[in-house]
Structure 1
Amino acid sequence: MERKSFLKTVAFVSLAPALLLAACKDAGKKEIASEKKQTYTCPMHPQIVQDKPGTCPICGMDLVPFDKTNKEAALTLGESQIALANITTMTVGTGALSNFKRLNGRLATDPEKTAVISSRVPGRIEVLYVKETGVKVNKGQPLYKIYSEQLASLQQEYLLAAAQVKQFPDDARFLDIEKAARQKLILYDQSNAQIAQLLQSQKVSPYVTYPATVSGIVSELTATEGQYVAEGGAVIRLEGYDQLWVEADVYPAEAAAIHIGQSVKVIVAGWENEPQTMNIQFINPSLQSGSQLMQLRGSIPNPNNRWQPGLQANILLPVSSKGDVLSLPVDAVIRDGKGAHVWVETGRGKFEPRMVSTGMENFDSVEITEGLEAGDKVVVTGAYLLYSEYILKKGADPMAGMQH
């Protein structure tokens, strides 16, 4: 019995190292397998993490692989990646920052650029050379021809007066009659050349063609061919769009801070990158009918008639300003439920997120009160792409665990 016990002990002692070594190898393999195990996350919801491909239970997007063992807080990108993502930076410095109040407005026709072409003689519209609205008309262009019996009688009266002067050149009374008859023709819009042609031909013509006195766009036709019009009756309305009014609504309490001559910015819808400078020319002292709003007005140039009356416009009123503050473009700051952060370039091609606190803000810039110092290089375009790249590679929100 003692011999059997001895042999068992010897066998156990000799096998123990082999068993221990095998166990260690198995543990090592499991640890290596665990380390090499691929994980997946949702680009939009980094809290979703699993060890196999699939879709996000929140948004349904396909999960993407990421390396959960990489705990570095920064991203390193190559030059080609930076160029492809259009990542640009700026060095933060101090300067003045102004805040604005946005007023809703619209573009309108300037009445000073509006002209009404009216008939200088009573008669029948024989021909309309412009028959539709929206047509551009140049100064001097024929607009309509009118038949006027009264004009014919005035021409005949002038021919008789001119014949009397020719027969009795020294008679002052006949000279006065001829001048009066000539003046009537001039008042009926007959030019000196037309009067001279009348004397030469000795033929009465009851037709007169009216040209455009200004250039503009036909906005209204108030007469048609064959229609009789009275002396002074409107025929065509022309509007000039080379200068437009800008009208904006303002509450009476806000109007107290506005004065005539004040310089403001105007942003026309669709041309946000081309703000216009305007001086306030008029503030209506009474409220608009059916509302509690007042109206202010100014004018802006309209080169090449690129804007039309009725377009929406916004007026930016300066309401406050600060000097010597750190500020960034609005797009450089990324915000979510955990706060705001920016991306700082700490080395060539190396970017890391940094939590910041913001202050006063306008439509272009935002004040940075904490988190940055003058001289820091901050990403101003492509920040959201860096944010997405961080989530893809790290599988976590860059704001997670950050505190001021």
Structure 2
Amino acid sequence: MERKAFIKKVALVSLVPGLFLAACKETAKKGGEAAKEQTYTCPMHPQIVQNHPGTCPICAMDLVPFDKNNKDAALTLGESQIALANITTITVGTGALSNFKQLNGRLVTDPEKTAVISSRVPGRVEVLYIKETGVKVTKGQPLYKIYSEQLATLQQEYLLAAAQVKQFPEDARFRQIAVAARQKLVLYDQSDAQINALLQSQKVNPYVTYPATVSGIVSELSVSEGQYVSEGGAVMRLEGYHQLWVEADVYPAEAAAVKVGQSVKVMVAGYENEPQQMTVQFINPVLQSGSQLMQLRGTIANPDNRWQPGMQAVISLPVKSSGDVLSLPVDAVIRDGKGTHVWIAQAGGKFAPRMVKTGMENFDAVEITEGLEEGDKVVVTGAYLLYSEYILKKGADPMAGMQH
């Protein structure tokens, strides 16, 4: 009996190593299968991860495969991939950076280029040569013809005075009366040629045609044909658009940043690629009625009358400037829910994300206050492609888990 028990123990001990090795092989096999198991994620929502193909429950995009075991934070691209993605870099350096504040503005007619055509004599408008607004008028062009009984009376008075001077050439009093009568006609806008023609014809003409004293666009008509007007009564308004006012709204707290004589940039709506330089000529110290806004004003040239009063404009007001700061082009900085980051170019075609903090910003550049050093090579164009490629290959946000 003792011999049989001893044989059983020896047999059991000899079987244990074999069973242990088999268990290890099975475990290794399962581990290898687990390691080879493919995982899938959403390109737009990397938090969605599963071990089989499908669609994203958030945006319904097809899931893409990725290697969840790759923990390298950098991307490695070949030369052809870099060229295809148009990836370019810039070496970070220090320099001056200016910041601008945008003010809402509008184009307004310049009152200095506006003229009111008024009647020089009382009477009836016989002919109105311009019958609608928006018509372009040139200086010297006939505008209206008026019938004036008062003008006829003054013409008759001058003819009598001239006849008396002719009959009594030595009488100084008659000469004074004739000069005064002629001056009255001049005050009623009668030219020397018209007065001389009156003397030659010896006929009173109660009709007089008045020309435009300036060039411009008819913006308002105040009379119609057949209407009686008084002396000095408005007939029409002419506006010149070759120079326009620019009015901009500014809060009192911001008004300290702008001064009369300061140069600012003006961008007219629809012509943003043609910015205009304007000198601030006036800052209204009184708030606009019903608002907490002040108003600044300047003038800009309007070649070929391509801009019209009432068009919107944006005024770029420099509010502060700083020197010796690290700055990058706007396109180099990527912002998402995790923060702000850039892509650093490394040797061997590697690109790694790096979180940064930004300062002031203008249309073209962003100040980098933390995260970069002078001399770093930063991706300018293609940064968003690298961001997307990282999500596709890694299945995670490049800023996930980073703290600055």
TM range (shorter): 0.7 to 0.9
Structure 1 residue 382: Cα displacement: 4.6
Letter in 1 for 2:374: A
* Stretch moving more, 325-334 or 256-265: 256-265
Change (3 A) 1:56 1:342: same
Change (3 A) 1:41 1:34: same
Which residue matches 2:56? 56
Which residue matches 1:6? none
Change (3 A) 1:303 1:78: farther
Aligned equivalents of 2:77, 2:62: Cα separation in 1: 23
Aligned equivalents of 1:166, 1:87: Cα separation in 2: 97
Structure 1 residue 399: Cα displacement: 2.2
Aligned equivalents of 1:248, 1:34: Cα separation in 2: 65
Change (3 A) 1:202 1:79: farther
Letter in 2 for 1:76: L
Aligned equivalents of 1:32, 1:156: Cα separation in 2: 121
Letter in 2 for 1:227: Q
Change (3 A) 1:189 1:354: same
Aligned equivalents of 2:180, 2:366: Cα separation in 1: 74
Which residue matches 1:76? 77
Aligned equivalents of 1:302, 1:127: Cα separation in 2: 33
Aligned equivalents of 1:256, 1:113: Cα separation in 2: 30
TM-score (structure 2 length as normaliser): 0.78
Structure 1 residue 221: Cα displacement: 1.7
Which residue matches 1:368? 368
Which residue matches 1:177? 177
Aligned equivalents of 1:137, 1:351: Cα separation in 2: 66
* Matching of residues 310-325 of structure 1 within 5 Å: 310-325=310-325
Aligned equivalents of 2:75, 2:307: Cα separation in 1: 47
* Matching of residues 275-314 of structure 1 within 5 Å: 275-314=275-314
Change (3 A) 1:75 1:180: farther
Which residue matches 1:137? 137
Structure 1 residue 342: Cα displacement: 2.0
Say whether the 8 Å CA contact 2:241–2:308 is kept in structure 1.
yes
Aligned equivalents of 1:256, 1:66: Cα separation in 2: 57
Aligned equivalents of 2:165, 2:348: Cα separation in 1: 98
Structure 1 residue 86: Cα displacement: 6.3
Structure 1 residue 324: Cα displacement: 0.3
* Stretch moving more, 121-130 or 294-303: 294-303
Say whether the 8 Å CA contact 2:345–2:352 is kept in structure 1.
yes
Give per-residue Cα distances to partners, 1:14-60, cap 9 Å, x unaligned. Answer: xx9xxx9xx99x959x96897595x65433222224455543321x3
TM-score (structure 1 length as normaliser): 0.78
Structure 1 residue 174: Cα displacement: 3.9
Which residue matches 2:232? 232
Which residue matches 2:353? 353
Structure 1 residue 288: Cα displacement: 2.7
Which residue matches 2:215? 215
Change (3 A) 1:147 1:379: farther
Letter in 2 for 1:135: V
Residue 374 of structure 1: SS of its match in structure 2? Answer: coil
Aligned equivalents of 1:268, 1:104: Cα separation in 2: 11
Say whether the 8 Å CA contact 2:114–2:238 is kept in structure 1.
yes
Which residue matches 2:125? 125
Say whether the 8 Å CA contact 1:40–1:63 is kept in structure 2.
no
Give per-residue Cα distances to partners, 1:299-336, cap 9 Å, x unaligned. Answer: 33333333333333344443332210011233331111
Give per-residue Cα distances to partners, 1:318-371, cap 9 Å, x unaligned. Answer: 333221001123333111121111234446976543322212233442211223
Which residue matches 1:108? 108
Change (3 A) 1:113 1:40: farther
Give the length in aligned residue pairs. 389
Letter in 1 for 2:367: E
Letter in 2 for 1:358: T
Residue 180 of structure 1: SS of its match in structure 2? Answer: helix
Residue 183 of structure 1: SS of its match in structure 2? Answer: helix
Aligned equivalents of 2:131, 2:293: Cα separation in 1: 40
Residue 388 of structure 1: SS of its match in structure 2? Answer: helix
Letter in 1 for 2:326: L
Letter in 1 for 2:283: I
Which residue matches 1:4? none
* Stretch moving more, 162-171 or 233-242: 162-171
Say whether the 8 Å CA contact 1:100–1:362 is kept in structure 2.
yes
Give per-residue Cα distances to partners, 1:56-113, cap 9 Å, x unaligned. Answer: 321x342253543776622637669857x66554443211123344444333222222
Structure 1 residue 224: Cα displacement: 1.8
Which residue matches 2:330? 330
Aligned equivalents of 1:34, 1:90: Cα separation in 2: 40
Say whether the 8 Å CA contact 2:43–2:64 is kept in structure 1.
no
Tell me how large the CA RMSD over aligned residues is. Answer: 4.0
Residue 217 of structure 1: SS of its match in structure 2? Answer: strand
Which residue matches 2:5? none
